Amino acid sequence: MKSNQIEKLTLSQKVYKSLKERIIIGELLPGQSITHKLLANDFGVSIIPIREALSQLESEGIVVRRSNKDLKIRKLTIDEFEEIADIRLILEPYILKLACEKRSAADIVNLSAIYDKFNSINDDHIEYLKVNQEFHFAIYKVSKHDIVLGLIESLWAYIGPYISLNTYGKDRSVTMGFHNKMFDAFVDQDCDKLIEATKMDIKTSSIDTISIIKSDSFSLK
């Protein structure tokens, strides 16, 4: 294989990873159109790595094709969203228990630094989404169970756009209450409380998200 082919593959994977992270965080909304040209300009690359990255996301069902050069972020039905929520309620408590049992002093320091970021976000919606994702996955990664972590990441790629809609311009006190309990439980190594707080976070946000799906209104106003 030629060196330029290796570089092309590496670039495609970088674009794929970056774009998927944007979707997981919620920077893109359900049904939002994404074109090869706009993404190429955004990433500062040619069309080829964009096409390859989008093809991979399409194969995972995260984006759906509208035309040859136009795709959109997948919109979920209520049944699909409820299925994802049910799977999350199995996988996330499983990985949380492992993480809680393995957590070290260094892990607490790392999570504390992320947790402190919540206090400086104010009204920056995108920054809140980034810290929210970083907070949850910082705990999950302590488990060192990469296969389960990958499954959870894929589920978040479906729901990330809805988390964005669900938190925009809204009072975050309830969600932050769950985060506070999760943080304290992780520090205290109280695995049951950590799992319970996460379950409540998932269940509460799911109720609001189902209302959004029913309304079929996907805009940040």
Mean of the pLDDT values across residues 53-62? 93
Give the tens place of pLDDT for each residue, 167-189: 887 778 888 999 999 999 999 99
Mean of the pLDDT values across residues 62-69? 83
Mean of the pLDDT values across residues 11-19? 91
Domains and CATH numbers, the chain: 3-73 (1.10.10.10), 78-215 (1.20.120.530)
119 alpha carbon, distance to own chain's centre? 20
Q: 200, 105 in Cβ contact below 8 A? A: no
Which pLDDT value is given to residue 11? Answer: 87
Region label for 15, one of left (φ > 0), alpha (ψ between -120 and 50) or beta (otherwise): alpha
Q: How many CB atoms lie within 10 A of CB 5?
A: 9
Give the tens place of pLDDT for each residue, 191-202: 999 999 999 999
Q: What is the pTM of this model?
A: 0.86
Q: Which residues contact 116 (CB under 8 A, 6 or more apart)?
A: none
Give the tens place of pLDDT for each residue, 139-158: 999 999 999 999 999 999 99
What are the CA-CA distances from residue 81 to residues 13, 52, 63, 184 (Å)?
27, 27, 15, 29
